[in-house]
Amino acid sequence: MIRDGRGGSVTARIESSNDKPEFMPQTEQPRTPLQTAARFTPLLLLALLAILIAVRVHLVDRNLGTYLACPGCFDTMVLAADTSFLAALAGVLLLAGVLRPLWLGRAVQVGAGVLVVVYATDLIVFRLFNARLFLSDIRLFLVEPAATWNQLSSGLGGVLPGAAVLLGALALLVWLAWTPPARGRRQRILLAAVLSVSLIAAAITRGGVYVNDWAVDNVLVANLSTSAHTPYSEDHADEVRARQPRPWRLNGPAPGIVPPTTLNSDATRSDGLNVIVLMLESWSAWHSEAWGGYEAWTPQLDAAAKRGRSYTNFHAIGFSTDRGLVGILAGQQLWEPFLHLFETPPFHSMWGVERSLPRAFTPHGYHTAFLTSGPLTLYRKGEWLADLGFDEVEGNEHAFYESEPRYAFGAASDDALYRRAAAWMDGASAPYLLVLETVTTHQPYTDPTTGERSLKGAMQFADRAFGEFLADLDRRRFFDRGVLVVASDHRSMTPVPARELSAWGAAALSRVPAFIIGPGFEAGSRGTAVHSQADLVPSFELWLGGATDLEAHQAVMFGAASNVAASRPDDRPRCAFHGRMDQRGRVDVHCGTGHGQVRLDGDRTEFVGSQGLDADTRSGVLDTLALLRLQGLERHLNHTRSPEPEPARE
């Protein structure tokens, strides 16, 4: 203790030579591996996105560039569109580094990883289906994980590549959740620079509206630009209903066609002609020489078409199998419900359809059956088919397929389906309506003969299997008292090359083959008028000897009534509608006088382009589309108030 001059005392600390200076600079502690990883995580994530952007540039060029015979034309447009996505990623990572507490920053960093995973998933969807990933589809993917995995792994080259991609995505998200966000000054400067440059580049390169924006826009913009969910106002809906034209009543049987004898309510089951409706998965006009295609993959189908009446202007109502089912079996001209993000219930608005194909046959004493080699549980298809009125519904769970090899969706081959159909017919009582749905030619296009993934191989296999089935029908003398309808469910989900677009124009995406063989269908005859899959139901209603009500723009496909000119007695042209997969909320319109495209947007629904359609026709089409969508909404509301449909009888 030492006294100071004022009588106080101070304590002096005497340091020995072994003591360290009190304020000696501390040496920097070495960074842990986790801290080092945190420094580089933003850079690696940005680099990963840059690689994915390069892949998207290549895919868009391969698909869209080929489509328009303009290779390289879209590279700059895709890069410009994705700068805003790059900015979004940089902004999220920057935010993650400044947020407190640490767990919140990590959660935001995981969100950045989700953005990259969504971007990568969009690439996979575009590669497999020539379409974009829409958030409304994600619910279906999650509800049907087995089917999603089947398509994903097959499209990526097998189970191992698919598993690698899936595990890689999960590992990325786990890593981002475990690694602390980068909070260093250098990282923040880098992210801020990427954010600023990307935003400036996006603003400078922003162009006008383009017809193929669906492929060029980044996945976030593509989802935000969809307007199909916008409802009509009550006032507009009332106006459309008030303008609704009265259906055109036709009474049958139609002259010029052989009806199933003289069927009436008291007819016996043996009086009618048996009918088989074959829905061929993804059969496209470009596969077939008979439909003007540039490939010759379906010689058996082409030869069969010459034995009856072929339809050269027949359009699918949509881009997928479920839409093909809705068109052919439910008789619906369009299926474009008012759906919001993440809202895609199976067969939404298509439960409770009153005028269906099986219900057209049942009053005339027919037994109706639906057979497929694919699953019935997928999207509740079996329940929905029973709701349409089928007496019997059967899928790949049947014992017949136990020893059969399985392919897409666990489906057996088309050959197995035809053998099962033959066994079914052996035990069937006439008259019957038998609907067959094939699966072999679905993505990923596996050839059952070789096991290789090849659209050509799968289609040629399907063609040979059909030829054998047709030969079996001939041996049975089926066509003495039977009719075979063959129609595609939709065009293949493959890019449309320039030569196809040049040959068929706007119809390239919707025009599919169809033909009918049987009594009254003259060999070599052709139907060239515009027809939709939805025309089959009223056509068979008339053919069965009853009456049918043709809604606006509908037409019958066979009989003297099918010869009605494009301008019908009520001045409404026959038209076919096709909901686009690549441009959600867009509907292609094909009429006898011209074509156009409609953008669905509630009261603001409008034509975005047309050729050969006058103002009255365009106005009538807009009213028809509104009515079809409003009727679907009413069915949906009625269905949600009703008990669930009974399970299918097997």
My answer on whether 146 and 236 are in the same domain is no
User: Looking at the domain assignment, is residue 81 inside a domain?
Assistant: yes
| pLDDT at residue 565 in the model | 35
My answer on whether 378 and 438 are in the same domain is yes
| pLDDT at residue 267 in the model | 28
Task: Please state the pTM of the whole predicted model.
Answer: 0.79
User: Looking at the domain assignment, is residue 443 inside a domain?
Assistant: yes
Which two three-digit tokens encode residue 299? Answer: 């010689």
My answer on whether 484 and 495 are in the same domain is yes
User: Looking at residue 456, which CATH number applies to its domain?
Assistant: 3.40.720.10
User: Looking at the domain assignment, is residue 650 inside a domain?
Assistant: no
My answer on whether 255 and 158 are in the same domain is no
Domain count, the chain: 3
Domain boundaries, position 41:
33-224
My answer on whether 539 and 446 are in the same domain is yes
CA-based nearest residue to 633, from 234, 248, 216: 234
| pLDDT at residue 152 in the model | 78
- Listed as ranges, residues in the chain with pLDDT below 50 are 1-2, 5-6, 10-24, 27, 209, 254-271, 341, 560, 563-570, 643-650
CB 447 within 8 A of CB 458: yes
Q: Are strands 309-311 and 514-517 parallel, antiparallel or unpaired?
A: antiparallel
| pLDDT at residue 65 in the model | 75
Region for 580 from its dihedrals, namely left if φ exceeds 0, alpha if ψ lies in -120 to 50, beta otherwise: beta
Instruction: State how far the Cα of 175 lies from the Cα of 37, in Å rounded to an integer.
Output: 10
* Separation in Å, CA 35 to CA 41, 94, 112: 10, 17, 19
User: Looking at the domain assignment, is residue 27 inside a domain?
Assistant: no
| pLDDT at residue 310 in the model | 97
Q: What is the pLDDT of residues 196-215, one digit of tens each?
A: 999 888 888 765 545 567 78
570 contact partners, CB below 8 Å, separation of at least 6: 245, 248
* E strands, 373-508, in order: 392-394, 432-437, 482-488
My answer on whether 211 and 313 are in the same domain is no
User: Looking at the domain assignment, is residue 10 inside a domain?
Assistant: no
What are the helix (H) ranges across 427-524? Answer: 455-475, 498-504
Q: What is the pLDDT of residues 213-268, one digit of tens each?
A: 778 888 988 887 778 888 999 999 999 999 887 777 766 554 444 433 322 222 22
| pLDDT at residue 35 in the model | 65
* E strands, 24-90, in order: none
Instruction: State how far the Cα of 417 lies from the Cα of 403, in Å rounded to an integer.
Output: 13
My answer on whether 59 and 111 are in the same domain is yes
Among the three residues 192, 224, 256, which one is the final residue of a domain in this structure? Answer: 224
My answer on whether 372 and 456 are in the same domain is yes
Residue 84 main-chain phi, psi, to 5 deg: -70, -35
Which two three-digit tokens encode residue 280? Answer: 């061929």
User: Looking at the domain assignment, is residue 7 inside a domain?
Assistant: no
My answer on whether 489 and 591 are in the same domain is no
My answer on whether 541 and 586 are in the same domain is no
User: Looking at the domain assignment, is residue 649 inside a domain?
Assistant: no
Residue 74 main-chain phi, psi, to 5 deg: -110, 0
My answer on whether 181 and 79 are in the same domain is yes
Instruction: State how far the Cα of 642 lies from the Cα of 474, in Å rounded to an integer.
Output: 45
My answer on whether 240 and 212 are in the same domain is no
User: Looking at the domain assignment, is residue 298 inside a domain?
Assistant: yes
